[in-house]
């Protein structure tokens, strides 16, 4: 099946419509929005508190370690959900494979507990 250039016209029209909508929304909000600029409005605030010091403060490595571990165990849940939905169709073979998967994840969790990777100082 060959595609002619005329088949791409609806796609180009959709891209143009989306770009036009975004451009018009930004332009209209700039024209209708308030223009009053004061020192208090232009100051930097975060969570209702005035910012003090530099924003370049280094984070503790433990923060990143816990974040990576969260993503790791979150991916585990992503793999568990389809397995649980299709549990009956997979049978004993699926149960064995998921058992091996969970055993490997459990070994990783035990390793993290041993290395005290989840403890805050």
Task: Indicate whether 14 pLDDT > 90.
Answer: yes
55: DSSP letter? S
Task: Indicate whether 50 pLDDT > 70.
Answer: no
Q: How far apart are CA 112 and CA 118, in angstroms?
A: 7
Q: What is the pLDDT of residues 62-108, one digit of tens each?
A: 788 888 888 888 888 888 888 888 888 988 998 999 899 889 988 98
Per domain, the residue ranges of the chain are 60-120
Q: How far apart are CA 54 and CA 111, in angstroms?
A: 36
Q: Helix or strand or coil: residue 113?
A: helix
Q: How far apart are CA 26 and CA 48, in angstroms?
A: 27
pTM equals 0.47
Residue 64: count of CB within 10 angstroms of its CB: 10
Q: Supply the pLDDT for residue 5.
A: 81
Cα dihedral 99/104/105/109 (nearest 10):
130
7: DSSP letter? G
CATH class of 60-120: mainly alpha
Confidence band of 48 (pLDDT split at 50, 70, 90): low
Reading the block at residue 32, the tokens are 């209708």
Q: Supply the pLDDT for residue 22.
A: 97
109: DSSP letter? H
Residue 14: count of CB within 10 angstroms of its CB: 10
Task: Indicate whether 58 pLDDT > 90.
Answer: no
Q: How far apart are CA 108 and CA 121, in angstroms?
A: 21
Confidence band of 20 (pLDDT split at 50, 70, 90): very high
Q: Higher confidence at residue 36 or residue 99?
A: 99
Q: What is the mean pLDDT of the chain?
A: 84
């Amino acid at each position: 099946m060959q595609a002619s250039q005329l088949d791409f016209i609806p796609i180009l029209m959709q891209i143009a419509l989306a770009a036009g909508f975004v451009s018009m929304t930004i332009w209209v909000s700039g024209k209708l929005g308030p223009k009053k600029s004061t020192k208090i409005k232009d100051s930097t605030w975060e969570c209702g508190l005035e910012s003090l010091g530099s924003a370049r403060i280094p984070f503790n490595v433990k923060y990143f370690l816990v974040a990576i571990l969260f993503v790791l165990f979150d991916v585990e849940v992503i793999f568990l959900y389809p397995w649980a939905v299709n549990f009956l169709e997979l049978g004993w073979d699926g149960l064995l494979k998921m058992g091996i998967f969970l055993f490997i994840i459990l070994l990783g969790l035990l390793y993290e507990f041993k290395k005290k990777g989840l403890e805050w100082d």
